[in-house]
Amino acid sequence: MLIETKKLTKTFGGLVAVNEVDFTIEKGKINAIIGPNGAGKSTFFNLLSGSYSPTSGRIFYKGKDITKLPPNKIARLGVARTFQTTNLFEQSTVLDNVIVGHRLRTESNLLDAVLRTKRFKREEEKCRDKAMEVLDFVGLTHVRDQLAGSITQEEKKRVAFALALATDPEIVFLDEPTAGINPGETEGLADLMEKMVEQQITVCLIEHKMKMIMALADKIMVLNYGEKIAEGTAEEIMNNQAVIEAYLGG
């Protein structure tokens, strides 16, 4: 078990967006969170990555309490994430986007940067090598030198993966990684997630595409109105009465 939440809760005014959720993320597996729109899925991710601080409850990473850690500290522990929409610098190349994204996340000394010291240049080279490596991993070497504004939607999704992977994470949170792309492209991204798991990277994703999730995820949690209504394998989820009602009952 890599991450564990205990009665994790987030309220916005009177709205309970995440309600006392107990959840465990299994190491080296594909963990999925599904649920209708507004169920609290993105909020749950924001809590786990430190973007939101919980109203109550606890979050543990490898047994360590990280409930009150800020996002940069959590990131440094090996937790990376993508967002529902990725903003790229459209006028920069794909490679530069990954290099810059990586640099923004790694702690760099401003004075080193201004003076362009040896250390800074060394670091810059390392970032470049890393960016090339992750672009190769996600299958984007052929568009590396193209402007980010000119690549396809599916390629932009892969860039988002590359940005997350550049930090050498132990776990990656993916918020609807395949939204807005076609079934063939979706399958390609599913393959990429499986490749990540083969590299010992734990995956936790939010997804709307039921068919894909059922085929891909080792473990699924279903949220509805902020509450966990089911958890288990695809087969267990598909036969769960509460889940069927949440999706069909409206």
Residue 56 or 91: which CB sits closer to ligand ADP? 56
Number of Cβ within 10 Å of residue 183's Cβ equals 11
Q: Output the smallest distance, CB 14 to ligand ADP, in A.
A: 10
Quick note: the x/- pattern for ligand ADP over 2-41, rule CB under 6 A, is ----------x--x-x-----------------x-xxxxx
- Report, in Å, the least distance between residue 15 CB and Mg ion: 15
CB of 205 to ligand ADP, least distance (A): 12
Interface with Mg ion, residue 97, by CB under 5 A: no
With a CB cutoff of 8 Å and minimum separation 6, the contacts of 85 are none
State the DSSP code for 207.
-
Burial of 37 (0-12, 13-18, 19+ CB in 10 A): exposed
Judge whether 220 and 36 are in contact, CB under 8 Å: no
Asked if 78 touches ligand ADP (CB under 6 A), the answer is no
Please give the residues from 14 up to 53 whose contact with Mg ion meets the rule CB under 5 A: 42
DSSP, residue by residue, 10-40: EEETTEEEEEEEEEEE-TTSEEEEE-STTSS
Nearer to Mg ion, 42 or 86 (CB): 42
Q: Are the C-beta atoms of 3 and 48 separated by less than 8 Å?
A: yes
Binding site for Mg ion (CB under 5 A): 42
Instruction: Point out which residues bind ligand ADP (CB under 6 A).
Output: 12, 15, 17, 35, 37-43
